[in-house]
Structure 1
Amino acid sequence: GELYIAGTGVARGYLNRPELTEERFLDDPFYPGERMYQTGDIARWTEEGLVEWLGRSDGQVKVRGYRIEPGEIEAAIRRIDGIREAAVTARTEHGETALYAYIEGRESDDVRAELATRLPAYMMPAQFIEMSEWPVTPSGKLDRRALPAPGGAADRQAYTAPRNVTEMKLCALWEEVLKNGPVGIRDHFFERGGHSLKATALVSRIAKEFGVQVPLQDIFARPTVEELASVIQDLE
């Protein structure tokens, strides 16, 4: 949640800025007559009782109706073993906003699968981009505006046709959900425009078509038709 500071160390306000003082220095609801400072920072309690800073509240983005703090996703990624650095940004194209994760230290599919066990589906980035070098500002900080744009059609796998009935039906479901095609068995669901809501829709269509319930997590862990077909065949 948002971090507020109270106690004897809180200042009286901003110098010569009464409007900002009134906005940020508020009455303390727990101690009448005292004041507290609204920092604008997003933080969380850790299991050790420490306060972990996640980012700024003014960095929040709205993705498919949910307000999301990218810093919270970054913190969750950094807690994955082997991750050396991570950044999460939001981009809006054709009127739709999506999250993109930039990572270093682990393969993207491994990170996606593990992160799916830690975050709700609506907070999952649409695409993970592996980095070896990071753009920085003259002061040495991460230059988020210089991060590479997510890959598009040029980065897709060469088309590989379905080899059996299960893969054929799955390809058809993907084309229906993603609304683009043709879909090959090695195409990546999220790199073809999939996101958490479309993954949920895919789970529903798989249940209707095959009569099996595939966990949503499996869509994130096995994001190709080829991989998902083997899951369905094991469940049938």
Structure 2
Amino acid sequence: EPGGEKDPATIAETVEANGVTAIHFVPSMLGAFLEYTEHSGAARKMRSVRRVFASGEALMTEHVRRFNRLLGAEGATLHNLYGPTEATVEVAYYDCPAEQEPESIPIGKPIDNVKLYILDRKDRLQPIGVPGELHIGGDCVARGYVNRKELTEEKFVADPYAAGGRMYRTGDLARWLPDGNIEYMGRIDHQVKIRGYRIELGEIEAA
């Protein structure tokens, strides 16, 4: 029912009643759900689940550790997804390991038809391990913001590495890891994410 997506007990009951096999959480809600599952014994209701996806916020190592202990034992796998709305939502994925637990959870590798660049302030490619702004190119890039020409021109720019292509400046700080995954390192501005929603602190200060 409306609002039930915020109630871990309702989610668990719905999964069990319908044999749900895939669920998509914002990490903060995943954390709340795993907390409930651990203290209520509801893991038995989740036996039909095969894949759990998380996106909208940074996925923490503690989420992965608790997930593997509670739901991984039943055969479910956890996948971290990354992608802003301006790029048709998801553009990168990372399959969280079921055994070893990395110190941080990468946002992963690009999906098909997506190009991910990590560039410096002059749009030069950054080498492995060096932080820069994450840019998104490929078929997924949106046309721009409705009735916001200046912001569109600032964020949606020509792709210097693909003839006729466009890319989106995410404002996210990231770096390539040696294994080909990308590590998210925060923002280059003061924007924050709360429960998957973008919050511009400057707008709050102005008000």
Tell me the TM-score normalized by structure 1.
0.25
- CA radius of gyration, larger in: 1
Bigger fraction of residues in strand: 2
Q: TM-score, normalised by structure 2?
A: 0.28
- Relative to its length, the structure with more helix (as a share) is 1
